[in-house]
Amino acid sequence: MLQSLLDAGREPTWLLYTLVSHWRRLLQARAIRDRGGTVADLQARLSEHPFVLEKAFRQAADYSAAELDRGFHELLKLEEQIKLGELDARLAVEGFILEQVLSGTR
């Protein structure tokens, strides 16, 4: 799937920003879940399509807050390193995804 997106002309930085956005959504969903909130609370906070938020709310249950926080900060670190020219964007995105798969994180 990743390869097909890249072959279709998607920039690796677009994929990175998409991952950052998704991780941020998961973090917010996890925080609301941890406070006993519902998907309606998430929908009230974020102005995104209800289907996207419902899916994020369900997915957030599969992660601890610490796992989400760690992944989010790793993405931000990768973004900074790419912008500074320290990392190749494609390799960074591929490495992050591979790391998530190998660690058993969904």
Give the range of the structural domain holding residue 70, as residue numbers without chain letter. 2-102
Q: Are 24 and 53 in contact (CB under 8 A)?
A: no
Residue 60: closest CA among 21, 31, 98, 102: 31
Residue 33: C-alpha distances to residues 42, 44, 47 (Å): 9, 14, 18
- The predicted model scores a pTM of 0.85
Q: Span 3-9, mean pLDDT?
A: 80
Q: What is the pLDDT of residue 67?
A: 93
Q: Are 68 and 23 in contact (CB under 8 A)?
A: yes
Residue 87: C-alpha distances to residues 9, 14, 19, 91, 95 (Å): 20, 15, 17, 8, 11
Q: Which is more confident, 105 or 82?
A: 82
Tally of structural domains, the chain: 1
| Average pLDDT for the chain | 92
CATH code where residue 18 lies: 1.20.272.10
As a whole-number percent, the residues of the chain with pLDDT over 90 amount to 78
